[in-house]
């Protein structure tokens, strides 16, 4: 801008009250939109009841690999292509996760079958806040009805992660059940998980189906 084109009238650049009010509105709206975008990107719950929502510094993902959490996507279905037919299967059943990192598990269950469990395996244990989030809800639940459980993701026995349990309610005929939870696994090694719902005895005893190995790496 040349000297000649600068405004000579001092009042020209002065903002009146309405202009200031508009700027405040724009800034506030931008801040709100940014927060929702951040929450979506980092899996931070927006509602109450989420263990991570109390973080005021923004980054709840620690310092590993750029700061965000790592997502772990698993699905559960009845695989019609293997013998015995329609064996229940996690996909993948064997996977690797980083230690000391906020993990966001998203498990999509397409199995409509209910395999009622003992109350222990209907409770959520070992996740952040000892809760799971069902079908996109931002309110965590600490258990699901034992009679409605289709499958679980559990560590039992002598595993260092023994006691960890998440339960997947059965899907409806038209809509899968989506279970989300946050977790940290801080001991490295290879750990066998099991489904503890009595779903399919062949699958429950066959690695790669209703049991598998979670490898935690440094």
- Give the residues lining the site for Cu ion (CB under 5 A): 151, 195, 197, 199, 210
The least CB distance from residue 128 to Cu ion, in Å, is 23
Q: In what order do the strands lie in the sheet with 87-91?
A: 87-91, 70-79, 103-109, 177-183, 133-134
Residues 6+ apart with CB under 8 A from 213: 93, 94, 190, 191, 192, 193, 207
- Cβ closest to Cu ion, residue 104 vs residue 117: 117
The least CB distance from residue 74 to Cu ion, in Å, is 12
- Cβ closest to Cu ion, residue 127 vs residue 154: 154
Q: Are 55 and 82 in contact (CB under 8 A)?
A: no
Distance CA 182, CA 164 (A): 12
Q: Which of 189, 197, 195, 176 is nearest to 99 (CA)?
A: 189
User: How far is the CA of 209 from the CAs of 34, 79, 169, 193, 195, in angstroms?
Assistant: 41, 9, 18, 11, 9
Distance CA 86, CA 199 (A): 11
Residue of this chain nearest to Cu ion (CB atom): 195
The least CB distance from residue 195 to Cu ion, in Å, is 3
The least CB distance from residue 152 to Cu ion, in Å, is 7
- Cβ closest to Cu ion, residue 66 vs residue 80: 80
Distance CA 21, CA 19 (A): 5
The least CB distance from residue 89 to Cu ion, in Å, is 9
């Amino acid at each position: 801008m040349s000297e000649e084109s600068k405004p000579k009238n001092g009042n020209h650049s002065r903002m009146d009250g309405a202009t200031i009010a508009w700027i405040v509105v724009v800034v506030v709206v931008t801040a709100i939109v940014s927060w929702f975008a951040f929450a979506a990107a980092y899996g931070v719950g927006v509602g109450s009841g989420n263990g991570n929502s109390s973080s005021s510094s923004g980054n709840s993902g620690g310092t590993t690999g750029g700061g965000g959490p790592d997502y772990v996507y698993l699905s559960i279905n009845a695989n019609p292509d293997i013998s015995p037919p329609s064996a229940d299967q996690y996909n993948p059943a064997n996977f690797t996760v980083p230690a000391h990192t906020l993990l966001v598990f998203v498990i999509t269950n397409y199995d409509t079958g209910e395999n009622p469990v003992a109350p222990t395996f209907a409770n959520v244990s070992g996740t952040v806040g000892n809760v799971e989030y069902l079908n996109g809800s931002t309110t965590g639940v600490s258990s699901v009805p034992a009679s409605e459980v289709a499958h679980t993701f559990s560590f039992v026995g002598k595993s260092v992660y023994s006691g960890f349990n998440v339960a997947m309610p059965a899907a409806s005929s038209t809509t899968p059940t989506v279970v989300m939870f946050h977790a940290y696994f801080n001991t490295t090694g290879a750990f066998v998980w099991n489904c503890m719902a009595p779903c399919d005895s062949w699958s429950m005893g066959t690695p790669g189906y209703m049991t598998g190995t979670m490898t935690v790496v440094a």
